[in-house]
Structure 1
Amino acid sequence: MKVRVPLIFTSILLLSACASSPQEKVAPHTPVAASAFVHHYRCESGETISTTYSSTGSATVQYKGSHYKMQIAVSGSGSRYVGGGLEWWTKGSGPGSEGSLFHHMADGTSGKSIERCTGS
Protein backbone atom coordinates (compact mmCIF):
# COMPACT_ATOMS: atom_id res chain seq x y z
CA MET A 1 0.00 0.00 0.00
CA LYS A 2 1.34 3.42 -0.95
CA VAL A 3 1.18 6.13 1.74
CA ARG A 4 0.51 9.65 0.51
CA VAL A 5 1.67 12.63 2.53
CA PRO A 6 -0.56 15.65 2.09
CA LEU A 7 1.13 18.50 0.22
CA ILE A 8 0.38 20.97 3.02
CA PHE A 9 2.25 18.77 5.53
CA THR A 10 5.28 18.48 3.23
CA SER A 11 5.29 22.25 2.69
CA ILE A 12 5.21 22.92 6.43
CA LEU A 13 8.14 20.57 6.99
CA LEU A 14 10.18 22.23 4.25
CA LEU A 15 9.44 25.73 5.51
CA SER A 16 10.24 24.87 9.12
CA ALA A 17 13.59 23.43 8.03
CA CYS A 18 14.47 26.75 6.39
CA ALA A 19 13.40 28.94 9.31
CA SER A 20 16.03 30.67 11.39
CA SER A 21 15.85 32.08 14.86
CA PRO A 22 16.15 35.85 15.37
CA GLN A 23 19.63 37.16 16.09
CA GLU A 24 20.27 38.21 19.66
CA LYS A 25 22.97 39.88 21.66
CA VAL A 26 25.66 37.46 22.81
CA ALA A 27 27.43 37.26 26.15
CA PRO A 28 29.93 40.10 26.65
CA HIS A 29 32.88 37.76 27.26
CA THR A 30 32.62 35.36 24.34
CA PRO A 31 36.04 33.75 23.67
CA VAL A 32 37.64 34.40 20.28
CA ALA A 33 38.17 31.24 18.21
CA ALA A 34 41.62 30.50 16.82
CA SER A 35 40.39 31.08 13.25
CA ALA A 36 38.87 34.49 14.09
CA PHE A 37 40.42 37.94 13.99
CA VAL A 38 39.45 41.27 15.59
CA HIS A 39 39.34 44.58 13.76
CA HIS A 40 38.90 47.97 15.48
CA TYR A 41 37.12 50.99 14.04
CA ARG A 42 37.03 54.63 15.19
CA CYS A 43 33.70 56.31 14.40
CA GLU A 44 32.96 59.93 13.51
CA SER A 45 30.96 60.28 16.76
CA GLY A 46 34.02 59.30 18.83
CA GLU A 47 32.65 55.81 19.59
CA THR A 48 34.66 52.71 18.79
CA ILE A 49 33.48 49.44 17.27
CA SER A 50 35.43 46.20 17.66
CA THR A 51 34.42 43.42 15.33
CA THR A 52 35.44 39.78 15.61
CA TYR A 53 35.28 38.05 12.24
CA SER A 54 35.24 34.27 12.01
CA SER A 55 35.88 32.02 9.06
CA THR A 56 32.25 30.80 9.17
CA GLY A 57 30.71 33.93 7.64
CA SER A 58 29.75 35.47 10.94
CA ALA A 59 30.89 38.46 12.95
CA THR A 60 30.39 39.72 16.48
CA VAL A 61 30.13 43.49 16.66
CA GLN A 62 30.90 45.21 19.97
CA TYR A 63 29.27 48.63 20.18
CA LYS A 64 28.54 50.75 23.27
CA GLY A 65 29.12 47.82 25.64
CA SER A 66 26.83 45.38 23.79
CA HIS A 67 27.82 42.45 21.57
CA TYR A 68 25.78 41.59 18.47
CA LYS A 69 26.13 38.23 16.73
CA MET A 70 25.68 38.78 12.98
CA GLN A 71 25.63 36.59 9.88
CA ILE A 72 27.01 37.47 6.46
CA ALA A 73 24.34 38.78 4.08
CA VAL A 74 24.11 39.70 0.41
CA SER A 75 25.69 43.04 -0.51
CA GLY A 76 26.38 44.90 -3.74
CA SER A 77 29.79 46.02 -2.55
CA GLY A 78 31.94 45.21 0.49
CA SER A 79 30.85 42.87 3.26
CA ARG A 80 27.48 43.08 5.00
CA TYR A 81 26.56 41.41 8.29
CA VAL A 82 23.05 41.38 9.79
CA GLY A 83 21.82 40.54 13.29
CA GLY A 84 20.35 41.93 16.47
CA GLY A 85 18.35 44.55 14.57
CA LEU A 86 21.55 46.04 13.11
CA GLU A 87 23.63 45.91 9.93
CA TRP A 88 27.40 46.22 9.78
CA TRP A 89 28.87 47.08 6.35
CA THR A 90 32.60 47.14 5.68
CA LYS A 91 34.70 47.99 2.66
CA GLY A 92 38.41 47.24 2.53
CA SER A 93 40.55 45.78 5.29
CA GLY A 94 43.17 47.03 7.68
CA PRO A 95 43.91 50.65 8.53
CA GLY A 96 41.79 53.06 6.52
CA SER A 97 39.02 50.54 5.82
CA GLU A 98 35.45 51.80 6.09
CA GLY A 99 32.69 50.52 8.36
CA SER A 100 29.09 51.68 8.72
CA LEU A 101 26.49 50.63 11.27
CA PHE A 102 22.79 50.86 10.36
CA HIS A 103 19.46 49.84 11.81
CA HIS A 104 18.18 46.73 10.01
CA MET A 105 14.56 46.96 8.88
CA ALA A 106 12.05 44.09 9.13
CA ASP A 107 11.75 44.04 5.32
CA GLY A 108 15.49 43.28 4.99
CA THR A 109 16.57 46.77 3.95
CA SER A 110 18.97 49.17 5.63
CA GLY A 111 17.44 51.73 7.92
CA LYS A 112 18.84 54.88 9.47
CA SER A 113 22.62 55.23 9.71
CA ILE A 114 23.98 54.94 13.27
CA GLU A 115 27.77 55.27 12.79
CA ARG A 116 30.35 55.82 10.06
CA CYS A 117 33.79 54.55 11.02
CA THR A 118 37.37 54.06 9.82
CA GLY A 119 39.52 51.01 10.55
CA SER A 120 42.58 51.51 12.71
Structure 2
Amino acid sequence: MRVLAFFILAGSGLLAGCHNAAATPDTYRYSCDSGVRVTATYPDTDSARVTYLGREHSMRVDVSASGTRYVGDLLEWWTKGTEGTLLQRNASGDSDVLEHCKQQR
Protein backbone atom coordinates (compact mmCIF):
# COMPACT_ATOMS: atom_id res chain seq x y z
CA MET A 1 0.00 0.00 0.00
CA ARG A 2 2.87 2.37 0.78
CA VAL A 3 4.37 1.81 -2.68
CA LEU A 4 1.05 2.63 -4.35
CA ALA A 5 0.71 5.87 -2.34
CA PHE A 6 4.26 6.87 -3.35
CA PHE A 7 3.52 6.43 -7.07
CA ILE A 8 0.25 8.36 -6.79
CA LEU A 9 1.97 11.30 -5.07
CA ALA A 10 4.92 11.26 -7.48
CA GLY A 11 2.61 11.21 -10.51
CA SER A 12 0.51 14.11 -9.27
CA GLY A 13 3.67 16.18 -8.69
CA LEU A 14 4.79 15.58 -12.28
CA LEU A 15 1.41 16.67 -13.63
CA ALA A 16 1.45 19.86 -11.54
CA GLY A 17 4.91 20.73 -12.88
CA CYS A 18 3.78 20.28 -16.50
CA HIS A 19 0.74 22.49 -15.98
CA ASN A 20 2.78 25.45 -14.71
CA ALA A 21 5.41 25.27 -17.47
CA ALA A 22 2.86 25.62 -20.28
CA ALA A 23 1.19 28.76 -18.89
CA THR A 24 3.82 31.33 -19.99
CA PRO A 25 2.71 33.37 -23.06
CA ASP A 26 5.18 34.69 -25.66
CA THR A 27 5.86 38.45 -25.41
CA TYR A 28 7.56 40.60 -28.06
CA ARG A 29 8.58 44.27 -27.97
CA TYR A 30 8.56 46.54 -31.00
CA SER A 31 10.05 49.97 -31.72
CA CYS A 32 7.96 52.03 -34.12
CA ASP A 33 9.02 54.68 -36.65
CA SER A 34 7.30 57.38 -34.54
CA GLY A 35 9.37 56.44 -31.47
CA VAL A 36 6.45 54.73 -29.75
CA ARG A 37 6.90 51.22 -28.35
CA VAL A 38 4.39 48.41 -28.79
CA THR A 39 4.29 45.19 -26.78
CA ALA A 40 2.50 42.13 -28.14
CA THR A 41 1.74 39.09 -25.99
CA TYR A 42 0.40 35.89 -27.54
CA PRO A 43 -1.38 33.74 -24.92
CA ASP A 44 -2.29 31.16 -27.58
CA THR A 45 -2.30 30.77 -31.38
CA ASP A 46 -5.68 32.51 -31.78
CA SER A 47 -5.23 35.68 -29.73
CA ALA A 48 -2.97 38.64 -28.98
CA ARG A 49 -2.84 41.34 -26.32
CA VAL A 50 -1.27 44.48 -27.78
CA THR A 51 -0.16 47.33 -25.51
CA TYR A 52 -0.11 50.70 -27.28
CA LEU A 53 0.23 54.09 -25.58
CA GLY A 54 -0.20 52.45 -22.17
CA ARG A 55 -3.46 50.71 -23.05
CA GLU A 56 -3.91 46.97 -23.60
CA HIS A 57 -6.07 45.79 -26.50
CA SER A 58 -7.34 42.20 -26.77
CA MET A 59 -7.48 40.82 -30.30
CA ARG A 60 -8.40 37.62 -32.13
CA VAL A 61 -6.63 36.16 -35.15
CA ASP A 62 -8.33 36.92 -38.49
CA VAL A 63 -7.81 36.15 -42.18
CA SER A 64 -4.74 37.64 -43.86
CA ALA A 65 -3.17 37.24 -47.29
CA SER A 66 0.32 37.31 -45.79
CA GLY A 67 1.69 37.26 -42.23
CA THR A 68 -0.59 37.10 -39.19
CA ARG A 69 -3.41 39.56 -38.56
CA TYR A 70 -5.16 40.18 -35.23
CA VAL A 71 -8.34 42.26 -35.01
CA GLY A 72 -9.89 44.00 -32.00
CA ASP A 73 -12.66 46.54 -31.52
CA LEU A 74 -10.49 49.58 -32.32
CA LEU A 75 -7.17 48.30 -33.64
CA GLU A 76 -5.59 45.73 -35.94
CA TRP A 77 -2.11 44.26 -35.43
CA TRP A 78 -0.49 42.73 -38.50
CA THR A 79 2.87 40.98 -38.25
CA LYS A 80 5.19 39.42 -40.80
CA GLY A 81 8.63 38.24 -39.76
CA THR A 82 10.13 40.84 -37.42
CA GLU A 83 7.86 43.69 -38.56
CA GLY A 84 4.49 44.79 -37.24
CA THR A 85 1.91 47.31 -38.41
CA LEU A 86 -0.71 48.79 -36.11
CA LEU A 87 -3.89 50.07 -37.75
CA GLN A 88 -6.91 52.07 -36.51
CA ARG A 89 -10.25 50.54 -37.53
CA ASN A 90 -12.84 53.05 -38.82
CA ALA A 91 -16.65 52.90 -38.67
CA SER A 92 -16.69 52.55 -42.47
CA GLY A 93 -14.76 49.27 -42.21
CA ASP A 94 -11.51 50.75 -43.52
CA SER A 95 -8.28 50.95 -41.54
CA ASP A 96 -5.63 53.67 -41.30
CA VAL A 97 -1.99 52.92 -40.47
CA LEU A 98 -0.98 54.23 -37.03
CA GLU A 99 2.48 52.69 -36.66
CA HIS A 100 5.13 50.78 -38.60
CA CYS A 101 7.26 48.82 -36.12
CA LYS A 102 10.26 46.50 -35.94
CA GLN A 103 10.81 43.84 -33.30
CA GLN A 104 13.53 44.67 -30.80
CA ARG A 105 16.32 42.14 -30.52
TM range (shorter): 0.7 to 0.9
The equivalent position to 1:116 in structure 2, one of 84, 100, 103, is 100
- Structure number with greater Rg is 2
Alignment coverage as a number of residue pairs: 83
Query: What is the CA distance between 1:84 and its match in structure 2?
Result: 2.7
| Matches for 1:10-21 after TM superposition, within 5 Å | none
SS in 2 for 1:61: strand
Q: Residue type of the partner of 1:103?
A: Q
After superposition, the C-alpha distances for 1:44-71 in whole angstroms (9 at most, x for unaligned) are 0000000001224100000001000000
After superposition, the C-alpha distances for 1:22-53 in whole angstroms (9 at most, x for unaligned) are xxxxxxxxxxx824110000000000000001
Aligned twin of 1:104? 89
| Matches for 1:72-87 after TM superposition, within 5 Å | 72-87=61-76
Query: What is the CA distance between 1:107 and its match in structure 2?
Result: 5.5
Q: Distance in 1 between matches of 2:63 and 2:90?
A: 15
Q: What is the aligned-residue identity percentage?
A: 45
- Structure 1-normalised TM-score? 0.64
Q: Residue type of the partner of 1:54?
A: P
Q: Residue type of the partner of 2:88?
A: H
The equivalent position to 1:58 in structure 2, one of 47, 68, 71, is 47
- Structure 2-normalised TM-score? 0.72
Normalized per residue, the structure richer in strand is 2
RMSD: 1.6
Aligned twin of 1:13? none
